[in-house]
Chain A
């Protein structure tokens, strides 16, 4: 029990000095999953055998004195949108029930090469569309802080697994905030790398020009170690950046903001933001100022259009990306009977196989791309994208990083916003601009909101390919907060209090 509460880097030290083995560590996490996941429902699939085999291999290599990666033998939870050969991959959709991919995603290949132990696949909003993980066809994930609340989305499973100590590391994907917003509401750390920084090969696409896989952890350093493990150029992804990965881990170990200029985005605070969330945000700013950073306010006037543009671009791309789910080559097939045509089977399968939010977005995207409406909707949204990029470019001429609260509120109750798509979409108001511009962003815990004692998130944004700045600022803030709190925020997790 004590071992699973450590950070990944502490676990790595324990493995390195022989305090424990990867098999023992993996078994401890599998036990924890068996104990708490019926309540949390972070996992859709647990690969007990595969994980123990990988762990045994890592132990064997260590015993043989092989040079190992920093995360060798450490368990990890993989978001179910990431393809892993032979392991069920559903993307939280009924459509892919039972599908076992015949190939590995590049992220999985890199994890394997680093001897990271993959525990299983985590729950998510269907095809990564959502902010609460309520849109999973396999039932919602519950927030370990309060099981009646959402863990954020779409990667609620990954973040919840960290907060519930079911895994020390997790992979998420972030199209409009799906790594950062769940991190914020679960009191964990999550990074959306620069677009093209981590390969998308094997990430089941939601919105190709916005999707980005990234690391999730309980500490900034753990997140950095995972980030460095999965980052780098991939010739299988045409949009992958062919340049060296910034010195992320070094930045996470540095954590020095003296003389740094930090810009507070005027448009991402105030109305609609929970008071307790803003209080924690402002406290964090004071801490950073106390560490020698210069805090300035900057304006990004086009950000108010970001949400609207996002809800045109993402559905448009998803309407095309999800067309391949047609019951012909893989996935479920509905209504196949004598005399029923392929077209009818496609229609029936897509009706049954997709959930409401996915269908809503496919129809919206189909509309936005259709002839006669393209210019007014998709075309205009692409122009807004240009304006948002310009806002960021201008801001980054004045400051090194930008900051905001990650999400306007703490975790809300399961079911609370299920019937109001627009209220749900507002969760991502502060995270979406980063995806629109292709830059990088981090969320780390800033404390518990006064009203509800639930975690609030602090977002840091840096220019494209300057991911190291996130870790530098994040590490500085994390250290300052930790000394203020006296203990990691996750020591307050109450939802599993009886057991933890």
Chain B
């Protein structure tokens, strides 16, 4: 990991949907470079033979019964919406097609 370029940060910001001014991109690129150099240490001991841990406790098969429970009222569901219309969330026009 030699470093992280401004373009790399711009691409990450795009994936994370955060607008960033050019100065912020530069600043973050240098900061992330330092942080990544520090955290890359994990690779020193992460051998092939070590299994990854995604959950701290070994729980499995946790399910709920297929039972309907009370939903929110539409008023409650929409209560925090920045905008709504016809009992639906109103959002600006969407550019991208659905994935």
Binding site for B on A (CB under 8 A): 99-103, 194-196, 209-210, 235, 238-239, 241, 302, 305, 308-309, 311-312, 319, 323, 326-333, 336, 340-348, 350-351, 354, 359-360, 362-364, 366-367, 370, 376-377, 379-387, 389, 421-422, 435-438, 464
Contact = CB atoms under 8 A, between A and B. Distances in A.
Given A380-B42, A381-B39, 14 more contacts: A103-B72, A305-B42, A308-B38, A309-B42, A311-B35, A328-B91, A336-B83, A342-B95, A350-B16, A360-B31, A363-B16, A383-B51, A389-B53, A421-B35
Nearest to A365: B16
Contacts, number: 180
Interface residues of B, number: 54
Given A367-B36, A387-B50, A437 B81 contact: no
Nearest to A312: B39
A114 B18 CA distance: 42
Interface of B: 1, 4, 8-9, 12-13, 15-20, 28, 31-32, 34-36, 38-47, 50-57, 59, 62, 64, 72, 76-77, 79-83, 89, 91-96
A328 B89 contact: yes
A495 to B, nearest CB: 32
Interface of A is mostly: helix
Nearest to B73: A102
A209 B94 contact: no
A241 B57 contact: yes
Nearest to B49: A383
A354 B18 contact: yes
A386 B89 CA distance: 43
Interface centre among A196, A327, A366 (most CB of B within 10 A): A366
Given A239-B59, A308-B39, A363-B9, A326 B50 contact: no
A105 to B, nearest CB: 15
A381 B16 CA distance: 21
